[in-house]
Amino acid sequence: MSELWAQLGSILATIMFVYAIIERFLPPSFRDSLQIHTQKVMNLLYPYIQITFHEFSGERLKRSEAYTFIQTYLSENSSQLAKRLKAEVIKDSQNPLVLSIDDDEEVTDEFQGVKLWWAAIKIETSSHGFSSFSNYKRYYKLTFHKKHRDLITISYIKHVLKEGKEIALKNRQRKLYTNNPSSGWYGYKQSKWSHIVFEHPATFETLAMEKKKKEEVIKDLLKFRNGKDYYAKIGKAWKRGYLLYGPPGTGKSTMIAAMANFMNYDVYDLELTAVKDNTELRKLLIETSSKAIIVVEDIDCSLDFTSQRKINKNEKNEEDELLMEQKDYYQRKKDEEESNSKSSKVTLSGLLNFIDGIWSACGGERIIIFTTNFVEKLDPALIRTGRMDKHVELSYCCFEAFKVLVKNYLDIDSHDLFDEIGDLLEVVNMTPADVAENLMPKSVNEDVETSLKNLIKALEKKKMEKQQEEDKDCVETVEDVKENGYIV
C-alpha cells in the first residue's frame, strides 16, 4: 500500500514539474493548442455534459423561474431518494412545509430509460469587507451522458419545467383579490389589488341546480381549460365570459366559488364603483394574473352607478339649495371637485374594452363573470355572445336542487316526505338559500323529520300567501269590470 502511495506521489510531482516547465518556457500559442488537445482528451475520458441553472439571473437579480420549478420538481420526485433534506416554510402554499434536497446533495432521476444526476450546489462568493456575512450562490447542476444530449436538452428539461410549474400551481394557496381605490396605488406598499386566502368550500357537488345544467357548465369549463391550442388556432384570446343571472339567493356567488375551486383559479372581485375611470380599469386588468376568474357582481347596479348618483344628487339639490347659498364660492367649488373625484366614470364602452378589447388578451386563461338579478336591465351590447359567451340562469329551487341541498344539510338521499316537498316546490317559488335555511337543524336535538317538516311548513305558508295574492288580484279585476265595464 505504502509503495502505491509513493508511486502516486511521484506521478503527481512529475505532472506539476512538467506543468511548471510548460507555463514558463513554452510560447503562448503552443500552450493554447496544448490546452485544446488536453480538453479533447478529457472529453473522451469524461463523456458527460453538465448544465447549470442558477438561482438568480437576469438584470434585476430576479429569482429564476426555472430554478424554482426545478426545485419543486425535485422536491416532489426525487426528495425521497435524498439523504439530506432542507425544510422550508413557504407562505401562500397549501402544504406550507416544503422539503427539498439540501445543498451539495445529489439525486438521480430517470427519463425514458436514461439516467441523470441532479446536484444542488452552494458556493461562497466574495464577502463584503464591512460585513461578516458571506454571499452564497446556489445552482442546480444537471449531469448526463453526451449521447443523450438531444433528448435531455429538447425534451427532458421542458418536461421538468412543465411538471414543476404544474406542481407549484397545484400546491399554491389560491387568493381572493379585491381592487384598492386608486389613492392607494402609489408610494410605499403600492398595490392595485389586496388579497386574502381564498377558502370558500363550495363545489359543484354541493351546488344545488338541475343536473343537466350543472354538467353543461362543467363541460364548458373543462373545454376552456384544455383549449389553449384551440384558442390559438382560431386566433382568439384565451378567455371566456359567463353571465350568471337569477333572483337573489339562487346561488350565483356560490357558483363562482365552485367554479374557482373546480378550475383551481384565483378570484378577482372587481368593485367597479371604486374604479375612477376607464384608464384605471385597464390598469387593474393588466395587473391580474392568468388562471384567474374576474368577477363583477350585480353588474346592473355597477353600471347604473353614475346615473344613480346623478338622480340622488338631483333629489338632494332642493333640500340643500338654501344651505349652498350660504356657502362661499370657493367652498362650493371644492365640494364639487371632491364629489367628482369620488364618482366612477367607468363607461359601458370602457367596460366592453375591458372584456374584449386588445388589452384583454394579455395574460390569457381568464374567465370573466358578471352576475345580475335583472338580466333584462342589461345593455344587449354587454351580454352579446363573444363577450358573455355563456349565459347561466340560476333559478328557484326545483326538486333536483332540493335533493342536493338535503344531502348537504341532512345527509339523506330519500325520505317519505320527499314527494310532498316535490309537489310543493312545483307550485311555490322558493330560493335555494331559503330552502337551505329551513333545512338547517335549529338545535342539536332536531332530527331529520323535524327539519323536513319545517321546510314543508314554510312552503305551505308561501303557497297560501301566493293564493291570497291571486285571490286579491281576482277581486280587483271583478271590481274593475263592475266599475268600468272593462279590465284596467
Ligand X SMILES: Nc1ncnc2c1ncn2[C@@H]1O[C@H](COP(=O)(O)OP(=O)(O)OP(=O)(O)O)[C@@H](O)[C@H]1O
Residues that bind ligand X (CB under 6 A): 207-209, 248-254, 373, 394, 432-433, 436
Q: How far is the CB of 251 from Mg ion (least distance, A)?
A: 8
Cell of 444: 342539536
CA distances from 351 to 283, 296, 355, 382, 443 (A): 12, 11, 6, 8, 47
Q: How far is the CB of 420 from ligand X (least distance, A)?
A: 22
Q: In terms of CB distance, is 138 or 407 closer to ligand X?
A: 407
Choose the contact partner of 207 out of Mg ion, ligand X, none; CB within 5 to 8 A by kind.
ligand X
**Cα 169 from Cα 159, distance rounded (Å):** 15
User: The cell 509503495 sits on which residue?
Assistant: 3
Q: In terms of CB distance, is 347 or 408 closer to ligand X?
A: 408
**Cα 430 from Cα 397, distance rounded (Å):** 6
State the pairing for strand pair 292-296/366-372.
Answer: parallel
Residue 288 in contact with Mg ion, rule: CB under 5 A: no
> Given the rule CB under 5 A, which of 39-47, 251-259, 266-274, 304-312 is the region that contacts Mg ion?
251-259
Choose the contact partner of 249 out of Mg ion, ligand X, none; CB within 5 to 8 A by kind.
ligand X
Q: With H, G, I as helix, E, B as strand and everything else as coil, classify residue 304.
A: coil
The residue number with the shortest CB distance to Mg ion is 253
DSSP state of 296: E
Q: How far is the CB of 413 from ligand X (least distance, A)?
A: 17
Q: Residues 168, 161: contact at Cβ < 8 Å?
A: no
Choose the contact partner of 254 out of ligand X, Mg ion, none; CB within 5 to 8 A by kind.
ligand X
Q: In terms of CB distance, is 82 or 388 closer to Mg ion?
A: 388
Choose the contact partner of 438 out of Mg ion, ligand X, none; CB within 5 to 8 A by kind.
none
**Cα 347 from Cα 259, distance rounded (Å):** 28
Q: How far is the CB of 248 from ligand X (least distance, A)?
A: 3
Q: In terms of CB distance, is 157 or 398 closer to ligand X?
A: 398
> Given the rule CB under 5 A, which of 133-141, 149-157, 230-238, 246-254 is the region that contacts Mg ion?
246-254
With contacts defined by CB under 5 A, how many residues of the chain interact with Mg ion?
A: 2
Q: Residues 242, 369: contact at Cβ < 8 Å?
A: yes
Choose the contact partner of 250 out of Mg ion, ligand X, none; CB within 5 to 8 A by kind.
ligand X
Choose the contact partner of 451 out of Mg ion, ligand X, none; CB within 5 to 8 A by kind.
none
User: How far is CA 424 from its chain centroid?
Assistant: 40
Q: How far is the CB of 247 from ligand X (least distance, A)?
A: 7
**Cα 83 from Cα 102, distance rounded (Å):** 9
CB atoms within 10 A of CB 93: 14
Q: How far is the CB of 348 from Mg ion (least distance, A)?
A: 22
Q: In terms of CB distance, is 207 or 303 closer to ligand X?
A: 207
* Contacts (CB under 5 A) with Mg ion, residues 344-403: none
Q: How far is the CB of 285 from ligand X (least distance, A)?
A: 23
**Cα 68 from Cα 55, distance rounded (Å):** 8
In one-letter notation, the amino acid at residue 298 is: D
Candidate residues 253, 302, 438, 451; the one interacting with Mg ion per rule CB under 5 A: 253
Q: In terms of CB distance, is 237 or 394 closer to ligand X?
A: 394
Q: In terms of CB distance, is 72 or 431 closer to Mg ion?
A: 431
Q: How far is the CB of 292 from Mg ion (least distance, A)?
A: 19
Taking Cα atoms as reference points, which of 268, 265, 257 lies closest to residue 202?
257
Q: In terms of CB distance, is 157 or 433 closer to ligand X?
A: 433
Choose the contact partner of 288 out of ligand X, Mg ion, none; CB within 5 to 8 A by kind.
none
State the pairing for strand pair 97-101/105-111.
Answer: unpaired
Q: How far is the CB of 420 from Mg ion (least distance, A)?
A: 30
Q: Residues 210, 398: contact at Cβ < 8 Å?
A: yes
Exposed e or buried b per residue across 395-426, where buried means at least 16 C-beta atoms within 10 angstroms of its C-beta: bbbeebbbbbbbeebbeeeeeebbebbeebbe
User: How far is CA 245 from its chain centroid?
Assistant: 22
The residue number with the shortest CB distance to ligand X is 251
In one-letter notation, the amino acid at residue 475 is: V
- Beta bridge partners, 86, equal 100
User: Which residue ranges make up the site for Mg ion (CB under 5 A)?
Assistant: 252-253
